[in-house]
Amino acid sequence: MLFIDSPSNNPYFNIASEEYLLSKYPRESIFLLYVNEPSIIIGKFQNTLAEINLDYVRQHDIKVVRRMSGGGAVYHDMGNLNFSFHTLLGNLDFMDFSTFTQPIVTILNKLGIPAKLQGRNDLLVDGKKFSGNAKLVKNGKMIQHGTILIDSQMEVLGEALITNPLKFVDKAVKSNRARVTNLIGYLPDDFTTIKFKDLLIAEMKQENTDAEMVRLTPDDIRDIEELVRDKYETWDWNFGFSPNYNFKKAIKIPAGFIELHLDVHKGYIEQAKIFGDFFASKPILELEQLLLGKRHQLAEIETVLDTVDLTGYFGKVDVSEVLELFK
- The answer to whether the beta carbons of residues 325 and 258 sit under 8 Å apart is yes
The domain segmentation of the chain, as residue ranges, is 2-239, 245-326
In angstroms, the CA 248 to CA 238 distance is 21
Read off φ and ψ for residue 88, nearest 5 degrees.
-60, 135
- The answer to whether the beta carbons of residues 170 and 243 sit under 8 Å apart is yes
**Other beta carbons less than 10 A from residue 268's beta carbon:** 15
Per-residue pLDDT of the chain (327 residues; tens, 9 = 90+): 999 999 999 999 999 999 999 999 999 999 999 999 999 999 888 888 888 988 899 999 999 999 998 888 899 999 999 999 999 988 777 778 888 899 999 999 999 999 999 877 889 999 999 998 888 888 889 999 999 999 999 999 889 987 656 566 766 666 655 588 999 999 988 899 999 999 999 999 998 888 899 999 999 999 999 999 999 999 989 988 888 889 988 888 877 788 899 999 888 999 999 988 776 778 889 999 999 999 999 999 999 999 999 888 888 888 999 999 998
Q: Which residues contact 149 (CB under 8 A, 6 or more apart)?
A: 79, 80, 130, 131, 180, 181, 182, 183
Q: Does domain 245-326 have CATH number 3.30.390.50?
A: yes
The CATH class, in words, for 2-239 is alpha beta
